[in-house]
């Protein structure tokens, strides 16, 4: 009896809505036709900056590097007053403690990748411990990767349960689920993976690790935003979105913002519900903001490289 | 496996019961203010919120600043004469009439009102150019002129787009990205055919018809001129063309281009005027071919007028296209396609997908998504680069659309319109849709030619084919399904000249376009478009 009842509650993910490739790419390109100027551009750029998860995920990361990045997160460009901070700093679990301390009192979140990032090729036990460690170190947000191999093998229940288990391990921390869309192959599968992640308890869905090409693209993000909208309609629960990797120019970031505005609307237009996973985007945005304030483009040398 | 499923399921249950956010505005702004307790566990009361009361808010705090295209990039004369025999000639009628910008009702220019004597003059010029020059010219030389026109349309693309938008009210995004480039493509395409007609009609010899009288509508003024002029010239005919009275300016700009391209005088003559001018062209005894795009009503008059004469005719008339969404369709892309299908060019499209048939199992979802999408359409100044829906072409057309909206309401259909703000001046109409429409309603049967969509539902394939074909028109149709075999089954049984599958309103010079039944006959575009301008000997 109990079994029958619970079976009914999980949707059959193989029936997730289909996506027409031509149609979704056409729609995504429409967002790039919006003309973003003057105060719209300045407000948009500040919003973008405030949505960035400033990221360093390298084997050669050290305490020093992370501290520098955290300073940048809090003070993106002090030469101009009124510039917002970024949303979060995203690091490996071993760097969480350093970042947490460096960002103390700033309101900037510490996000930690976990679950054997970026491949996710580890046992569930290891993934749970990885997650718990990151949370114990002080991570406010956990960016997990799904088991793409199991997903491709059609073992949706495995993927679902794994996300659910990591969600449990997260406790109060918000969970971002990385689909690694570059490895999924089709928009149909991006949509299916999004549905699994949201139903299993994701607070955010995220495109990519940044280690695989292609990373975030506008059509992939559109498919995920529409999945979020459908889930919201069904459940009333808002899910956040994080495109990551491949967004390094302000113009492209503004196109993403246009897409967000026109697909999900006002409620999602803050860093509580939308993030950019990026490392080099911040400086391009800053350069554009300074151009807007002073009327002049400045040399890249005026912006700190961290 | 089963036990794993259960674990996941129980968790889902917990999420649904405990963590469903309350979606009232207060709660959400509260959520935003208190940033730290992000996934606060809500009380069980929150679940009581019905999902159909949830709404997305598209009136966002981050708005687009005006981004108008600059008018100064276009030159419009104060007054235009008639373009006859390669020269600008004052009308024998001595009359002129004004053309306005439908977005602000300001006068843009004055154009000549050609009478029967002017038409006669133009036809004589066209006849003499046909006999003395154009018919005899080697085909590859003809092609060079058409290629030249195509390139000049491209060179002046920005100016043409601005004028098209000023005179007709369509958004600059469309005139820039669709009308002008597609017009240039038509000239390029048919220029290529000019010296290859023996391959278009293998083992047959073709001859041009002579003088073609061409009458075009106001919805795609430049593009329709290109559709008409390009194949006529490529096959060796000469032309007398009349643009619509509300949108004459881009055709006159095209006349300037033709003059600059040094086309032999009289090969293309452009006469402005209203219905009487059109009638004079249709009734002129020395015209060999009438090509008309416009309303079914006028099409019938033309058909009657030429009965018993030797004139060949092609008519591209009205439509009431069925756009069909099956339950297995990619819904979000289908919704987008439906939006483009009906709101493209304010719905002033003869092949607009104005009758939407949705399979009942997905009807609720589709309608909800259509309404959302309606809210995110930007209605306003056509010259603004961010405008999705511009001005209705004329006051008369706006009246017609309003009349149908009130008919729809009286018929008991449920109306929904975008909550957008409309400009104070000019002719504007909110994008509108009707649900609960019956097949017998006038808004489901008659062509509205505006941004008004009628939504009907169906259950089976046979039912929808019967309903879709149940129309005096048969110009175009659309099918949305993920299943290839269903596409072929549907397209085979649909009585429509063009059937789009998983897309809508796609045009290409290589693809023939034209209708069945009261949508007219003859094809324009592609190989078929050549056949309408030659006699095969």
CB contact under 8 A, A35 and B67: yes
Q: What is the pLDDT of residue B36?
A: 32
Which residue on chain A is closest to B67 by alpha carbon?
Answer: A35
Which residues numbered 167-186 in A keep a CB inside 8 Å of some CB on B?
A: 167-168, 172, 174
Specify whether B147 is located in the same domain as B90: yes
Nearest partner of A157 among B10, B13, B5, B15, judged by Cα? B5
B21 interface with A at CB cutoff 8 Å: yes
Confidence of residue A173 (pLDDT cuts 50, 70, 90): very high
Instruction: List B500's β-bridge partners, or say none.
Output: B478
DSSP SS3 for B22: coil
Q: What is the pLDDT of residue B537?
A: 86
Specify whether B274 is located in the same domain as B387: no
CB A100 within 8 A of CB A109: no
pLDDT digits (tens, 9 = 90+) for A217-227: 999 999 999 99
Domains of chain A, each with CATH number or no CATH: 35-290 (3.20.20.70)
Q: What is the pLDDT of residue A306?
A: 78
Residue from B67, B330, B374 whose CB has the most chain A CBs within 10 Å, to mutate = B330
Q: Mean pLDDT, chain B, as a whole number?
A: 91
Task: Tell me which residue in B12, B57, B329 faces A199 most closely, judged by beta carbons.
Answer: B12
Task: Tell me which residue in A38, A43, A264 faces B56 most closely, judged by beta carbons.
Answer: A264
The Cα B398–Cα A16 span in angstroms is: 42
Which chain B residues are within 8 Å of A3, Cβ to Cβ?
A: 2, 6
Confidence of residue A65 (pLDDT cuts 50, 70, 90): very high
Nearest partner of B193 among B151, B236, B224, judged by Cα? B236
Considering the domain boundaries, does residue B66 fall inside one?
Answer: no
B328 interface with A at CB cutoff 8 Å: yes
Considering the domain boundaries, does residue B59 fall inside one?
Answer: no
Calculate how close chain B gets to A301, using CA atoms only, in Å: 31
CB contact under 8 A, B5 and A18: no
**CA distances (Å), A248 to each of A129, B76, B220, B268, B324, in order?**
33, 43, 40, 52, 41
DSSP SS3 for A123: coil
A261: number of CA atoms within 13 Å, CB side? 23
Residue A114 pLDDT more than 70?
A: yes
Segments in chain A forming alpha helices (H): 2-9, 21-31, 38-50, 63-74, 96-102, 124-136, 148-152, 156-170, 187-200, 218-235, 250-263, 281-294
The Cα B355–Cα B445 span in angstroms is: 8
CB B459 within 8 A of CB B324: no
Task: Tell me which residue in A3, A203, A269 faces B39 most closely, judged by beta carbons.
Answer: A203
With both helix axes pointing from N to C terminus, report the angle between A156-170 and B2-18 in degrees, rounded to the nearest 10.
50
Specify whether B300 is located in the same domain as B328: no
The Cα B461–Cα B415 span in angstroms is: 27
Which chain B residues are within 8 Å of A46, Cβ to Cβ?
A: none
Specify whether B291 is located in the same domain as B332: no
Considering the domain boundaries, does residue B62 fall inside one?
Answer: no
DSSP SS3 for A68: helix
Task: Tell me which residue in A17, A22, A233 faces B503 most closely, judged by beta carbons.
Answer: A22
Task: Tell me which residue in A22, A157, A263 faces B4 most closely, judged by beta carbons.
Answer: A157
Nearest partner of B345 among B414, B429, B424, judged by Cα? B429
Specify whether B211 is located in the same domain as B76: yes
Calculate how close chain B gets to A61, using CA atoms only, in Å: 28
CB contact under 8 A, B64 and A18: no
Which residue on chain B is closest to A203 by alpha carbon?
Answer: B39
CA-angle at A276, arms to A253 and A44, nearest 5°: 40
Considering the domain boundaries, does residue B64 fall inside one?
Answer: no
Q: What is the pLDDT of residue A8?
A: 44
Matching residue, tokens 């109990």? A2
**CA distances (Å), B175 to each of A34, A149, B219, B378, in order?**
15, 47, 11, 16
The Cα B10–Cα A302 span in angstroms is: 54
Residue from B2, B10, B11 whose CB has the most chain A CBs within 10 Å, to mutate = B11
Neighbours of B304 (CB within 10 A): 10
Calculate how close chain B gets to A35, using CA atoms only, in Å: 6
DSSP SS3 for B536: strand
Specify whether B436 is located in the same domain as B420: yes
Considering the domain boundaries, does residue B217 fall inside one?
Answer: yes
Considering the domain boundaries, does residue B431 fall inside one?
Answer: yes
Question: Can you give the CATH number for the domain in which B237 is found?
Answer: 3.40.605.10
What tokens were used for B193? Answer: 């055919």
CB B457 within 8 A of CB B479: no
Specify whether B264 is located in the same domain as B366: no
The Cα A17–Cα B365 span in angstroms is: 12
What pLDDT tens digit does each residue of chain B (537 aa) get? 334 333 333 333 333 333 333 333 443 343 343 333 333 333 333 444 455 678 899 998 999 999 999 999 999 999 999 999 999 999 999 999 999 999 999 999 999 999 999 999 999 999 999 999 999 999 999 999 999 999 999 999 999 999 999 999 999 999 999 999 999 999 999 999 999 999 999 999 999 999 999 999 999 999 999 999 999 999 999 999 999 999 999 999 999 999 999 999 999 999 999 999 999 999 999 999 999 999 999 999 999 999 999 999 999 999 999 999 999 999 999 999 999 999 999 999 999 999 999 999 999 999 999 999 999 999 999 999 999 999 999 999 999 999 999 999 999 999 999 999 999 999 999 999 999 999 999 999 999 999 999 999 999 999 999 999 999 999 999 999 999 999 999 989 999 999 999 999 999 999 999 999 999 999 999 999 999 999 998
Residue A197 pLDDT more than 60?
A: yes
Question: Can you give the CATH number for the domain in which B355 is found?
Answer: 3.40.309.10
Which chain B residues are within 8 Å of A238, Cβ to Cβ?
A: 21
What tokens were used for B62? Answer: 């981050």
CA-angle at B297, arms to B295 and B300, nearest 5°: 110
pTM assigned to the model: 0.91
Please report the sign of the dihedral spanned by the C-alpha atoms of residue A213, residue A216, residue A220, residue A224: positive
Which is catalytic among the residues A53, A100, A242, A284?
A242
A vs B, Cβ pairs < 8 A, gives: 161
Picking from A6-10, A131-135, B65-69, which range would have the lowest pLDDT averaged per residue? A6-10
Considering the domain boundaries, does residue B241 fall inside one?
Answer: yes
DSSP SS3 for A12: coil
Considering the domain boundaries, does residue B216 fall inside one?
Answer: yes
Residue A11 pLDDT more than 90?
A: no
**CA distances (Å), B424 to each of B95, B132, B393, B449, in order?**
32, 54, 16, 22
Largest CA distance in chain A: 70
Task: Tell me which residue in A37, A164, A236 faces B67 most closely, judged by beta carbons.
Answer: A37
A264 interface with B at CB cutoff 8 Å: yes
Domain range spanning residue B8?
2-53
Which chain B residues are within 8 Å of A201, Cβ to Cβ?
A: 11-12, 15
Instruction: List B513's β-bridge partners, or say none.
Output: B524
Per-position DSSP letters for B383-444, written without gaps between them = TBTT-SB---S-HHHHHHHHHHHHHHHHTTPEEEE--PPPPSSS-----EEEES--TTSHHH
Specify whether B278 is located in the same domain as B378: no
Q: What is the pLDDT of residue B51?
A: 56
Specify whether B22 is located in the same domain as B91: no
DSSP SS3 for B181: helix
Which is catalytic among the residues A127, A167, A189, A206?
A206
Is B21 a known active-site residue? no
Specify whether B485 is located in the same domain as B348: yes
CB neighbours of B213 closer than 8 A, spacing ≥ 6? B123, B240, B241, B242, B281, B282, B284, B287, B289, B290, B291
Residue A2 pLDDT more than 70?
A: no
A33 interface with B at CB cutoff 8 Å: yes
Nearest partner of B153 among B84, B268, B253, judged by Cα? B253
B40 interface with A at CB cutoff 8 Å: no
Residue A49 pLDDT more than 80?
A: yes
Is A251 a known active-site residue? no
Which chain A residues are within 8 Å of B177, Cβ to Cβ?
A: 33
Specify whether B211 is located in the same domain as B283: yes
How many structural domains are present in chain B?
3
Specify whether B196 is located in the same domain as B337: no
Q: What is the pLDDT of residue B34?
A: 35
Calculate how close chain B gets to A130, using CA atoms only, in Å: 20
A12 interface with B at CB cutoff 8 Å: no
């Amino acid at each position: 009896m109990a079994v029958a009842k619970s079976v009914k509650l999980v949707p059959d993910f193989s029936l997730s809505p289909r996506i027409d490739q031509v149609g979704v790419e056409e729609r995504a390109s429409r967002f790039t036709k919006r003309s973003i100027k003057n105060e719209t551009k300045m407000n948009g750029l500040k919003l973008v900056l405030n949505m960035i998860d400033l990221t360093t995920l390298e084997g050669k990361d050290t305490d020093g590097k992370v501290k520098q990045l955290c300073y940048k997160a809090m003070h993106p460009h002090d030469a101009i007053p009124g510039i917002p901070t970024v949303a979060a700093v995203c690091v490996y679990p071993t760097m969480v403690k350093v970042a947490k301390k460096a960002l103390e009192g700033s309101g900037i979140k510490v996000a930690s990748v976990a679950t054997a990032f970026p491949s996710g090729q580890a046992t569930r036990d290891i993934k749970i411990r990885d997650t718990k460690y990151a949370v114990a170190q002080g991570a406010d947000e956990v960016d997990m990767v799904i088991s793409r191999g199991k997903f491709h093998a059609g073992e949706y229940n495995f993927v679902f349960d794994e996300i659910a288990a990591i969600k449990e391990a997260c406790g109060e921390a918000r969970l971002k689920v990385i689909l690694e869309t570059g490895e999924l192959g089709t928009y149909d599968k991006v949509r299916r993976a999004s549905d699994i992640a949201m139903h299993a308890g994701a607070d955010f869905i995220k495109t990519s690790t940044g280690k695989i090409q292609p990373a975030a693209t506008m059509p992939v993000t559109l498919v995920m935003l529409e999945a979020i909208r459908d889930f919201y309609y069904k459940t009333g629960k808002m899910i956040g979105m994080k495109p990551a990797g491949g967004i390094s120019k302000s113009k492209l970031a503004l196109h993403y913002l246009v897409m967000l505005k026109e697909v999900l609307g006002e409620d999602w237009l803050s860093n509580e519900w939308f993030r950019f996973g990026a490392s080099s985007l911040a400086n391009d945005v800053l350069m554009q903001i300074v151009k807007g304030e002073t009327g002049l483009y400045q040399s890249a040398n005026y912006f700190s490289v961290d | 496996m089963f036990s794993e499923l259960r674990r996941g399921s129980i968790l889902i249950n917990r999420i649904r019961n405990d963590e469903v956010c309350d979606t009232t505005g207060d709660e959400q702004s509260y959520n935003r203010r208190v940033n730290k307790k992000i996934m606060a566990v809500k009380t069980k009361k929150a679940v009581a919120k019905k999902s159909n009361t949830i709404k997305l808010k598209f009136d966002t705090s981050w708005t687009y600043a005006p981004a108008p295209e600059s008018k100064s990039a276009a030159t419009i004369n104060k007054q235009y004469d008639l373009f006859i025999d390669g020269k600008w000639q004052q009308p024998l009628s001595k009359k002129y009439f004004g053309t306005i910008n439908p977005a602000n009702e300001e006068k843009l220019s004055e154009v000549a009102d050609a009478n029967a004597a002017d038409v006669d003059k133009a036809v004589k010029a066209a006849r003499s150019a046909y006999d003395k020059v154009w018919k005899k010219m080697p085909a590859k030389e003809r092609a060079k002129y058409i290629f030249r026109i195509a390139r000049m349309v491209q060179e002046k693309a920005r100016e043409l787009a601005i004028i098209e938008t000023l005179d007709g009210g369509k958004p600059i995004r469309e005139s820039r990205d669709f009308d002008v480039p597609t017009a240039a493509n038509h000239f390029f395409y048919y220029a290529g055919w000019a010296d290859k007609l023996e391959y278009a009609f293998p083992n047959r010899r073709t001859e041009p018809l002579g003088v073609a009288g061409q009458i075009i509508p106001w919805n795609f003024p430049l593009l329709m001129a290109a559709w008409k002029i390009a194949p006529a010239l490529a096959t060796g005919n000469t032309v007398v063309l009349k643009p619509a009275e509300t949108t004459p300016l881009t055709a006159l700009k095209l006349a300037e281009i033709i003059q600059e391209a040094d086309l032999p005088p009289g090969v293309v003559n452009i006469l402005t005027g209203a219905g009487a001018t059109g009638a004079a062209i249709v009734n002129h005894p020395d015209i060999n071919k009438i090509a008309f795009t416009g309303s079914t009503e006028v099409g019938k008059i033309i058909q009657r007028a030429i009965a018993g004469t030797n004139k060949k005719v092609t008519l591209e008339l009205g439509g009431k296209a069925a756009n069909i969404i099956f339950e297995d369709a990619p819904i979000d892309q289908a919704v987008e396609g439906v939006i483009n299908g009906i709101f493209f060019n304010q719905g002033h499209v003869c092949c607009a997908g104005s009758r939407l048939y949705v399979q009942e199992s997905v009807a609720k979802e589709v309608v909800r998504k259509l309404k959302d999408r309606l809210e995110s359409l930007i209605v306003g100044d056509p010259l603004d680069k961010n405008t999705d829906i511009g001005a209705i072409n004329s006051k008369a057309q706006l009246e017609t659309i309003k009349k149908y909206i009130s008919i729809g309401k009286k018929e008991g259909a449920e109306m929904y319109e975008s909550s957008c703000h409309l400009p104070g001046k000019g002719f504007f109409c909110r994008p509108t849709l009707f649900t609960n429409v019956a097949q017998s309603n006038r808004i489901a049967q008659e062509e509205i030619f505006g941004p008004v969509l009628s939504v009907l539902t169906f259950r089976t394939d046979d039912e929808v084919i019967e309903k879709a074909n149940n129309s005096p028109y048969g110009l175009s149709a659309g099918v949305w399904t993920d299943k290839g075999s269903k596409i072929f089954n549907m397209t085979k049984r649909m009585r429509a000249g063009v059937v789009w599958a998983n897309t809508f309103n796609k045009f290409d010079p290589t693809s023939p376009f034209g209708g069945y039944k009261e949508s007219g006959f003859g094809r324009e575009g592609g190989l078929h478009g050549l056949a309408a301008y030659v006699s095969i000997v």
